[in-house]
Amino acid sequence: MSTILLAQSFGIPQWLTSMMCFIYELKKVFLEKIKDLLQNTTNKGSKYLKHTAAKLFEAEKADPSLKKTSDDKEPTIAQMNFKLITQVSSKIKDQKGDYHNQAARKELEFDFNQLTERESKRVIELEKAQVEAKRYITSEDVHNGFNVLVSPDK
């Protein structure tokens, strides 16, 4: 039993059923294109995204059916797909830049924190070494100018 006949058996008007089928097909095609766009963007990076955007704008110039319609006309499926893919690709491009900036910032913060920890550990080790060296001061060290007045408890 077809979808239209099934819907009519429940009392849903045919025009509404046709519209629902149309929207379903539109979503299905659009989601496949978006999935492909996202996979290629993930695999090939931002160069693919720029290439895709360039192809979209070339397609809009070459194909008059993709150009904007007046307000009183319904847009075609191709126009809706084109508009949605353009919006999604520009949004992904914007977010991708933010994502890379955030990742770079986090990486720099991580490196800075590691360097700070390493430096503080080095200072502590140096102080420990000086304290340890002061415990075993000989008369020769004092004669050579070693400062005995600094407290080894530091």
Q: Where are the domains of the chain?
A: 3-123
State the amino acid at position 143 in one-letter form.
H
Does the pLDDT value for residue 119 go beyond 60? yes
Question: pLDDT grade, residue 154 (50/70/90)?
Answer: very low
Q: Which residue has the higher pLDDT, 114 or 60?
A: 114
- Closest to 78 (Cα-Cα) out of 60, 104, 93: 60
- Closest to 57 (Cα-Cα) out of 29, 86, 93, 31: 86
Q: What is the mean pLDDT of residues 36-49?
A: 68
Q: Under DSSP, is residue 153 helix (H, G, I), strand (E, B) or coil?
A: coil
The token duo for 12 is 């849903």
Other C-beta atoms within 10 Å of 48: how many?
16
* Angle at CA of residue 121, ends 119 and 126, nearest 5°: 95
Does the pLDDT value for residue 23 go beyond 70? yes
Residue-wise pLDDT for 122-135, tens only, equals: 889 888 888 887 77
State the amino acid at position 141 in one-letter form.
D
Does the pLDDT value for residue 1 go beyond 50? no
Residue-wise pLDDT for 68-108, tens only, equals: 556 566 666 666 666 666 666 666 555 555 555 666 667 76
- Tell me 32's DSSP state: H
Residue-wise pLDDT for 46-73, tens only, equals: 666 666 666 666 665 655 555 555 656 6
Q: Are 86 and 53 in contact (CB under 8 A)?
A: yes
The token duo for 33 is 């294109």
pTM for this predicted structure: 0.28
Does the pLDDT value for residue 121 go beyond 80? yes
Q: How far apart are CA 138 and CA 142, in angstroms?
A: 7
Q: Are 27 and 81 in contact (CB under 8 A)?
A: no
What does the pLDDT read at residue 91?
64
